A and B are shown apart, each in its own frame.
Chain A
Amino acid sequence: MRYVGKSYPIHDACQKASGRAVYAGDMELKGMLHAAVLFSSIPHGFVKKLDCSRALEYPGVVDVVHCFNTTEREYNRYQSQFNQALIYTERVFNSHVRFVGDRIGAVIAETEEAAREAVRLIQVEYEELPYSLDVFETLKGTIDNVHPSGAVFECTDMVTGTMPEEEDLVTVDTVTDLSRINHICMETHVCVADYDQYSGELTIYSPNQTVYGIRTLIGDIFQMDYSKVRVIKTTMGGSFGGKQEWVLEPVAAAAAIRVKRPVKLVYNRSESMISTYGRSPMHFQSSFTFGRDGSLKGVDCDLLLDAGAYLGNSINYARTVGHKLFRGYKYPYCHFHSRAVITNTIVSGAFRGWTSPEATIMFEHNMNMGARALNMDPVDIRLKNVMHPGDADPLGNIPIGNFRADEALRQGREHFFWDRRKEEIREFNKKNRRYKRGLGVALGAHVNGFYPSKTDYARVDMRLTETGSVQMNITLHDHGCGTVTAMQMIAAEALGIPMEQVSLGEGDTKYTPLDVGCFSSRTTYVQGQTVCLCAEKFKDRLKEDVSALSGLPVSELVVENNLVYGKYHPEVCYTWSRIADECQQKLKHEVFVSYEYVPDTNPGVAGAHFAMVEVDTFTGMTKILDYLAVHDIGQAINREMCVAQTQGAVIMGAGAALLEHVVTKVSGRPMGSLKDYHLINCFEAQDVRVELIEDGGTEGPYGAKSIGEVCHTPVTAAVVGAVNDALKSDMNQIPLTPDVICAYLDEQEKKEREKEA
């Protein structure tokens, strides 16, 4: 292949490196104003009175929008489809405030500084209500009236298969607690909205994962015809799931409609951390039953998901955890029960992997504890239970296709020197009192698109220019990880022309095709395949046109290297440029095709990750000494980007394992600063080795499968497993910060002292 599988810089790498890329936060529109939001300072209550008079007097202030002068139509920030069945309780501005950080109003001013200063001048009078900061408090009934629909939502109670009636089974019971984490995109949340009162058209510029989703939600909130809402996807500085639910867009739209001018809204880091959304805290109680040979017989899992103050995606999220229990391992029985619980805390929402990492953290811990109980090697117990090509996801009986988890585990074991290191570590730990080393392995699996649980389809259009290049029209949402370039590579490969002769852009609801958005790792698998198939159709079209122009039958024409020529009459040779020209002049049409694709497969995709850590048992600090990620990817499109995405995912997942959590103080006030929220920084970021298993065999482009989410799926579980191996512990309260580890060790030391005494 000429392009696929090689490595190219992302399409806007030069613009980004030179500072020429325009993010929404860089935009300047004629007459543009700036908004700053007034947030609730209490965790739960009613806004009784707002006094905006001093804010309105502040120099540069144009207007104030708030809960008493803006539409009270309720919506759900997770909505992205027409008539989507969801619980709608959130408003653009809320008079019933439900967390510290809830939106009450926004000042619109000539400058951001003036808007922010004026926000401080608004006097808010509250009536405070009891609040709950964790799911157990809510279950006591403390905030039953937080929403008309209640505070506790049953999500799913499903039984799959039957529990084998055997004797001599081993059961492990564990508790898993996941803390609230934030996406921490380099680009904070931004939206620019512009309302033209004469045309009645609202234009929204935002970095997001579905332009059509925003169009739908905004159209519904403001009761606008969808054709009057135009959404343009802007250059994005990272999303990780953080820009697929709509938080700033309704606010900027409300402001722009009110003042009939463009309005820019930029959240700072603190606002992005507190007032958008994060990954939900989860509390799992689970029980796994194994045969003596390590075969997994049954899974029983109960999940309490902390939805935060508004439901958003939480009911769907809690259900989806159950769907993710069947993507990697085969076992006869599962009972999964989940509830989503409202608390007066930061709203929960999507995070990279959409419950795959969360389910995996719980699942893989149980596999480790099972291996320990059975005195088995952690890799062996996984190999014993892993799914193989030919197996199917029991939910909907969907074949998992050419799923290479087994191979990934075996290859990783060898290349990570698993068996040798196990011995070395045993010796190291025997000799060392302070530093303890451990090994962890985790298998993560994921999907390739929405099929069959939700509608999935894609459309691509291709047009030929008179200079022989191809303009592609497709609704892409590049997060900064190279989607545009990947599609360009696929198109160039399929068309047989140089990459620079393929041009394409990103989503714009006014011009690009309807699309369900960048979700569920569908972009490469579904949209990429659409590009491939469209290119084939485009080449057929070239042949038809040359046939009409030359009189040769289509069957005798060959498309190759920017040329179409007769197989038996090589003197009949058309450049693509000439085809475009003669089609216009003689046949009176543009060379154009449009192709719609509906996927009917959704193979599994797997990653086996291996971590070696060293824990300082005196300070609780954990260092990752080595890390290997082996991925079953089918076919890498842009190779170095696949590797880099995986390396980034490891830093992200390792941060969740060891450091990251948003702390909420007892007052209900969350800590919204990177001073308190620690990521793994470049000093501690470990080298990550990445290996790709590429044996194609999928319905994706050139046999490709997804990478962006699956590479994040096993990370936290692998690192946690390694820490537990080092300390012979059974902790699964994420993150394992130095404090958590020291508290555990302190407890162990006390127990030992008591034993001695």
Chain B
Amino acid sequence: MESLLPKTYEEIPGCLRQMTEKSRFIGGGTDLIIKMRMGLAAPDAICYLGYVRELKEIRREEEWLSIGSCATMTEIEQDPEVREHYPALMDAAADVGSLQIRNNGTIGGNIGNASPAGDLLPVLYLYDAVLEIMGPDGVRRAGIDEILAGPGRLNLACNEAILRILLPPSTGYTSFVKLGSRKKVTISRIGVALRIEMDGDYVKEMKMMVGAIGIKPVRLEKAEEFIKGRTLNEQNILDIAAILSDYIREHVAKEFDRDYKVFASRGVVMDAFHRLRRD
């Protein structure tokens, strides 16, 4: 197995040219190394981009927040810009695995792994994240949904790398709550990401993305429509939870813990709305 280790931005295209269908990118290795040990992955080459300084950085670029694909969960969670302007991303990053995992695991890896339970994915959808991608011949940009194809699959060529994640300005209140099998160090069974803009006591607009209930994060448009112009009282929130329950009942197969998810949506939806208040 070959190791491709570009040290500078300029060295990346050269490395990408050497990658084949069997090659893999490695971020923190928190998934790939386990797969390799279990014999489930045997790449001919692994490419690690973490030595490229620009890809570790989180910085403001005019109206965008640019997050290098090699930024770790811990770095994202602790970044002041993220905490102030993209708190749902902080929520999601802070709840990934254990501290040891968060110190290694990267945002690029979370996208690249494309797990239906990927913690950051619903939040990246929530904020309309744009990915900056480099191929051997140049750089392009695409929305997160164009790139995410399904479980473990991306619409990227084998020699294309995610360099940066760009978040447009966010308005309103946002939050993310995940429900796992226990409180911490757990894999998401439902992840709810919310963005709300208020007009006085009334909801002007809501965006609701739900993770771990489909092959990609699901946008719950029916709930978004329902709440428009209404207040955020308990009954309305319970009704949103009921919309999520109905969706799960219809769309999730029984062996993916459907019955539990149908029942438990109420709890996670209420928690997500509660967290919008940040108190």
Contacts and interface: CB of A to CB of B under 8 A. Distances in A.
Co-assembled chains A and B: yes
B187 A619 contact: no
Contacts of A745: 263
A209 interface: no
A443 to B, nearest CB: 28
Contacts of A746: 259, 263
Given A616-B267, A742-B264, A737 B259 contact: no
A678 B267 contact: no
Contacts of A675: 187
B235 to A, nearest CB: 12
B184 A434 contact: no
Contacts of A618: 264, 266-267, 270
A620 B39 contact: no
Nearest to B268: A619
Contacts of B184: 681, 683-684
Interface stretch (B19-27, B80-88, B175-183): B175-183
B260 interface: yes
Contacts of A587: none
A183 to B, nearest CB: 19
A612 interface: no
Contacts of A738: 181, 260, 264
A678 B181 contact: yes
Contacts of A678: 181-182, 186
A619 B182 contact: no
A635 B213 CA distance: 55
Contacts of B264: 618-620, 738, 742
Interface in B91-142: none
A743 B39 CA distance: 37
B260 A743 contact: yes
A684 B257 CA distance: 23
Contacts of A743: 259-260, 263
Given A739-B260, A743-B260, A684 B182 contact: yes
Interface in A216-264: none
A684 B260 CA distance: 21
B177 to A, nearest CB: 11
The contact size tier of chain B is: 10 to 19
A746 B257 CA distance: 14
Interface in B182-216: 182-187
A743 B264 CA distance: 10
B183 A742 contact: no
Contact of A619 (B39, B186, B267): B267
A71 to B, nearest CB: 31
Nearest to A620: B264
Interface in A177-224: none
B243 to A, nearest CB: 16
A421 interface: no
Contacts of A737: 181
Interface in A581-622: 616, 618-621
A742 B182 contact: no
Contacts of B186: 678
Nearest to A745: B263
Interface in B223-265: 257, 259-260, 263-264
Contacts of B263: 620, 742-743, 745-746
A739 B262 CA distance: 11
B271 to A, nearest CB: 8
A659 interface: yes
A266 to B, nearest CB: 14
A640 to B, nearest CB: 27
Nearest to A684: B183
Contact of B182 (A120, A434, A659, A739): A659
Contact of A620 (B183, B185, B260, B270): B260
Nearest to B190: A619
Contacts of B270: 434, 618
B65 to A, nearest CB: 30
Interface string A96-134: 000000000000000000000000100000000000000
Contacts of B257: 739
B266 A683 contact: no
Interface string A694-737: 00000000000000000000000000000000000000000001
A742 B260 contact: yes
B181 A659 contact: yes
B273 to A, nearest CB: 13
B263 to A, nearest CB: 4
Contacts of B266: 618
Nearest to B186: A678
Nearest to B262: A746
A620 B187 CA distance: 16
Nearest to B264: A619
Nearest to A116: B39
B179 to A, nearest CB: 6
Interface string B21-50: 000000000000000000100000000000
Contacts of A616: 267
Interface centre among A619, A623, A678, A684 (most CB of B within 10 A): A619
A683 B180 CA distance: 14
Interface string A653-689: 0000001000000000000000100101101100000
A659 B181 CA distance: 8
Interface in A73-101: none
A621 B266 CA distance: 13
A616 B182 CA distance: 12
Contacts of B185: 681, 683
B173 to A, nearest CB: 22
B39 to A, nearest CB: 7
B267 A434 contact: yes
A684 B181 CA distance: 12
A120 B39 CA distance: 9
Given A618-B270, A619-B268, A675-B187, A681 B182 contact: yes
Interface string A613-637: 0001011110100000000000000
Interface string A737-757: 111001101100000000000
Residue among B179, B187, B264 having the largest count of chain A Cβ atoms under 10 Å: B264
Contacts of B181: 659, 678, 737-738
A113 to B, nearest CB: 10
B212 to A, nearest CB: 14
B260 A621 contact: no
A742 B266 CA distance: 11
Contacts of A684: 182-184
A621 B264 CA distance: 10
A573 B163 CA distance: 83
B84 to A, nearest CB: 26
A620 B189 CA distance: 13
Nearest to A117: B39
Nearest to B179: A619
Nearest to B234: A433
A621 B187 contact: no
A627 to B, nearest CB: 17
B41 to A, nearest CB: 14
Contacts of B187: 675
A737 B260 CA distance: 11
A686 B259 CA distance: 29
25 contacts: A434-B270, A619-B264, A620-B260, A620-B263, A620-B264, A621-B183, A621-B267, A659-B181, A678-B182, A678-B186, A680-B182, A681-B184, A683-B183, A683-B184, A684-B182, A684-B184, A738-B181, A738-B264, A739-B257, A739-B260, A742-B260, A742-B263, A743-B259, A746-B259, A746-B263
Given A618-B267, A620-B264, 4 more contacts: A434-B267, A621-B182, A621-B183, A683-B183
Interface of A: 120, 434, 616, 618-621, 623, 659, 675, 678, 680-681, 683-684, 737-739, 742-743, 745-746
Task: Enumerate the 9 nearest inter-chain pairs by beta-carbon distance, A residue then B residue, closest first.
Answer: A618-B267, A619-B267, A683-B184, A742-B263, A739-B260, A619-B264, A618-B266, A746-B263, A684-B183
Interface of B: 39, 179, 181-187, 257, 259-260, 263-264, 266-268, 270
